Amino acid sequence: MELLLSMLIMILVSVGVYTLLQANIARIIMGLFYLFNAAALAFFVASGLNSRNAAIIESGQGSLEANSTNPISQSSVILFTVISFAVMSYLIFLCRKFFSDQSDDNFSQRSFE
């Protein structure tokens, strides 16, 4: 499973870098989107894939059960997802604002220069 996911990460990073290097703002945004997904997947794979119980401490217990998943990797990926969403939203907002005063409203065909 790790090998398959590693290959998927490799494909995502390759596609992400390729689209990021295009002189088109919509493709740059898509490239960042691929890279962010690759990073989240890489964290999951690096921290170990397993199928265990949910990392929830029951009332009356002081610590996690032995057969629980690791909550740090899950919380880290959630945090990264939120941050990457914020960065992408801000980038899209800036691009919309920058190109809004041009007559052409085809956003996907816009480039920087």
Partner 1 sequence: MKHPHKVAALLSTFFSAALLAYALKLLGQIIQGGPQVFQLGHWPAPYGISFVADLLSALFICATSLVFFAFNVFSLAYTAEELKNKNLYFLCTSLVFASLLCFLAGDLLTLFLSLELLSMTSLSLITLGSTRDQTRQAIPYVILNAISAFSFFVGLGILYGHTGNLNMAYLANLLRQTEWTYGIRCASIFIFFSLCAKAAMFPLFSGFPAPILPRHRP
Q: What is residue 102's DSSP assignment?
A: S
36 binds partner 1 per the rule CB under 8 A: yes
26 binds partner 1 per the rule CB under 8 A: no
CA-based R_g, the chain, Å? 19
Dist. CA 85–CA 17, nearest whole Å: 19
Instruction: Give min distance, CB of 112 to partner 1, in A.
Output: 7
The strand pairing partners of 53, in sequence order, are 68
Q: Cβ distance 8 to 41 under 8 Å?
A: yes
State the helix-helix crossing angle for 25-46 and 71-99, rounded to 10 degrees: 180
Using CB under 8 A as the criterion, what x/- string covers residues 37-76 for binding partner 1? -xxx-xxxxxxx---------------x------xxx-xx
91 binds partner 1 per the rule CB under 8 A: yes
Q: Which residues bind partner 1 (CB under 8 A)?
A: 20, 25, 28, 32, 35-36, 38-40, 42-48, 64, 71-73, 75-76, 79-80, 83-84, 86-88, 90-91, 94-95, 97-98, 101, 112
